[in-house]
Chain A
Amino acid sequence: MRYFEYFVGPQHVGVTGNMSYHLWADGDEIKKMITSVGYLHRGFEKLMEYREWVKNVPMVPRICVPEPDVNEVLYAMGVEELSGLVPSERAQYIRVLVLEMARLSAFLFYFAGAAGALGLYTIPQWTIGDRDYILDRFEELTGGRAYHIYTTPGGVRRDLPDGFKSRVQETMNYLKKRLIDYDRLMFENAIIVKRTKGIGIIEKDYAMNMGVTGPNLRASGIKADVRKDDHYLVYDKLDFDVPVVGDGDIFSRIMQRRLEFDESIKIIEQVLEMMPDGGFIEKLPNPIEWKVPAGDVYVKLESSKGEFGYYIVSNGEEKPYRIHVRGPSYTHGIQVAQEKIVGMRIADVAPFLFSLDVCPPDIER
């Protein structure tokens, strides 16, 4: 039996970034898929071994493009754990604020992709436009739209500007108002519901065994969140729920993000209220001679795509000995997608991959 072969990507509208798929199809039914990654492999882990500890701070955000702050915070957390630095409480609250704002912007990006894959082009116009209001806040705080290079080991680079809190609150109020429109346009939209319900199901046990994490795992029905289970920064002082949708299909993965969107807004509002006064950065040693004590540490946190982790090894020199980055898309972007796509129709491939939120740069680094 010979199957029709399709080559999807890297120059294609239906792929989530720069990666490609080789599909074998019998009529309309997919029989086999092979993912091909590596189009964005820059060898970050190697480059970081060649640079001093502080010089790596602007390197790391490039690893995950839609949500760069995750990498900065993780790298800072790892270096702090190795060198025994403890950032001030204010700095920790600011980091949570930055992380949650980044999560919101990544979710808005996700909605655009998921809806665009289904051919609904109004939603990207709205969500990407609204995402820019969050980027404006980032620009005000850090000076950059996409890459912020704001969190450094020891704290954050600068304090909040005057009146920043109230402007963040305004943005949140605006987003809450817009969510009503989004619900009507996207999440209750008959086209989305009919195209996505019951398709691309990832079962609970399978997801757990295959190392799927984050919203995709929760959409399959497991209540696991790094923010709760392995709490970092000040997340244990904040009050938020971990929603679990539980069906594991494309629709529940989209809905999962929608529900977590509310929780992130809740967290941001609490952070704005609870943020204490104080310093925002600890005194650091001379960055050129800074030797981080020998040891190894695995730090992880919850990004909008799942568990992001850094395994950092130091041998007591000016430069890191080895840094291994665990990107969340690594598991669901390659093996899970390859196995679960079998039996699906060609038209469902793009919605399925966009619903998984596969982000090639964090697979390849």
Chain B
Amino acid sequence: MGLFKFSRSRSLWMMHFCTGCGAIEMPPTMTSRYDMERFGIIPMATPRQSDLLLVTGYLTVKTLKRVVRSYEQMAEPKYVIAFGSCTMRGGMYWDSYNTVKELDLYIPVDIYINGCMPRPEAIIDAFIKLRDMIDKGEANAWKNYRDNLDWYKQNQAKVFDINKWSAKI
């Protein structure tokens, strides 16, 4: 295990973006009872300074657009943890007209957490697994995004117009 990997895996900065209902279990995970800071994970306000993107639940088309943009702004290496059943196969919203069903068609995902919603223990378990994966050099989803950019862009274009970022928010 190299020094870089060791340092990276122990000071993950997490982007502060509550994309869905999973965000309700983030404050307990951050604060006094579960205290994720003991793993070196703290919330960070800007994408350019963060290493970790938490997709906390289903993504609507409108949010997916912003998530893709935020993800592309993050500096490499970067990691994605997806929360909940709804990011895997649509979960409860499998027939909704406005949510994307399989998140890894649009952005690469390192770890999925099962459940609706995942408990803080499950979230911390995912953090530890991610740490181990970084140590072993297995958390390489971001390389996947770089190598298969065309495929990802093609999938994104099916859902929203990737060339026309909306002028107003």
Which residues of chain A have a CB within 8 Å of any CB of chain B? Answer: 7, 9-13, 17-18, 20-22, 34, 36, 38-43, 46-47, 50, 58-59, 62, 65-66, 109, 112, 124-126, 128-129, 131-132, 135, 145-147, 361
Taking the closest CB of chain A, its distance from the CB of B60, in whole angstroms, is 6
Taking the closest CB of chain A, its distance from the CB of B15, in whole angstroms, is 7
Taking the closest CB of chain A, its distance from the CB of B25, in whole angstroms, is 6
Distance in angstroms between the alpha carbons of A125 and B25 in the assembled complex: 14
Chain B residues with CB under 8 Å of A11's CB are 15-17, 47, 66, 70
Chain B residues with CB under 8 Å of A50's CB are 95
16 contacts between A and B (CB under 8 A): A7-B169, A9-B169, A11-B16, A18-B20, A21-B169, A34-B168, A39-B60, A39-B63, A40-B20, A41-B60, A42-B58, A66-B24, A125-B31, A129-B33, A132-B28, A135-B28
Interface 0/1 of B82-99, CB less than 8 Å to A: 000000000011011111
- The answer to whether B25 touches A146, judged by C-beta atoms less than 8 angstroms apart, is yes
Taking the closest CB of chain B, its distance from the CB of A85, in whole angstroms, is 26
A65-B24, A112-B27 given; A47·B33 CB < 8 A: no
Q: Among the listed A12, A112, A124, which residue makes an inter-chain contact with B45, where contact means beta carbons less than 8 Å apart?
A: A12
Closest to B119 in A: A145
Chain A residues with CB under 8 Å of B168's CB are 22, 34, 36
- The answer to whether B21 touches A361, judged by C-beta atoms less than 8 angstroms apart, is yes
Chain B residues with CB under 8 Å of A124's CB are 27, 31
- The answer to whether A62 touches B31, judged by C-beta atoms less than 8 angstroms apart, is no
- The answer to whether B18 touches A17, judged by C-beta atoms less than 8 angstroms apart, is yes
Which residues of chain B have a CB within 8 Å of any CB of chain A? Answer: 15-21, 23-25, 27-28, 30-33, 43, 45, 47, 58, 60, 62-63, 66, 70, 92-93, 95-99, 116-117, 119, 168-169
A18-B63, A65-B21, A124-B27 given; A132·B15 CB < 8 A: no
- The answer to whether A42 touches B116, judged by C-beta atoms less than 8 angstroms apart, is no
Distance in angstroms between the alpha carbons of A257 and B27 in the assembled complex: 20
Chain A residues with CB under 8 Å of B98's CB are 41-43
Distance in angstroms between the alpha carbons of A112 and B33 in the assembled complex: 14
Closest to A66 in B: B24
Distance in angstroms between the alpha carbons of A18 and B25 in the assembled complex: 15
Chain B residues with CB under 8 Å of A13's CB are 16, 43, 45
- The answer to whether B18 touches A146, judged by C-beta atoms less than 8 angstroms apart, is no
- The answer to whether A10 touches B32, judged by C-beta atoms less than 8 angstroms apart, is no
Taking the closest CB of chain B, its distance from the CB of A337, in whole angstroms, is 15
Distance in angstroms between the alpha carbons of A40 and B98 in the assembled complex: 9
Distance in angstroms between the alpha carbons of A20 and B93 in the assembled complex: 23
- The answer to whether A131 touches B28, judged by C-beta atoms less than 8 angstroms apart, is yes
Closest to A10 in B: B66
Distance in angstroms between the alpha carbons of A9 and B18 in the assembled complex: 10
Q: Among the listed A20, A46, A129, which residue makes an inter-chain contact with B31, where contact means beta carbons less than 8 Å apart?
A: A129
Q: Among the listed B15, B17, B31, B43, which residue makes an inter-chain contact with A128, where contact means beta carbons less than 8 Å apart?
A: B31
Taking the closest CB of chain A, its distance from the CB of B111, in whole angstroms, is 20
Distance in angstroms between the alpha carbons of A125 and B24 in the assembled complex: 15
Distance in angstroms between the alpha carbons of A114 and B119 in the assembled complex: 24
Taking the closest CB of chain B, its distance from the CB of A242, in whole angstroms, is 28
Taking the closest CB of chain A, its distance from the CB of B127, in whole angstroms, is 18
Taking the closest CB of chain B, its distance from the CB of A9, in whole angstroms, is 8
Give me 18 other A-B pairs in contact (C-beta within 8 A), A38-B60, A39-B60, A128-B30 excluded. Answer: A7-B169, A10-B17, A11-B15, A11-B17, A11-B47, A13-B45, A34-B168, A40-B63, A47-B95, A62-B92, A65-B23, A125-B32, A126-B32, A128-B27, A128-B31, A135-B28, A145-B119, A146-B25
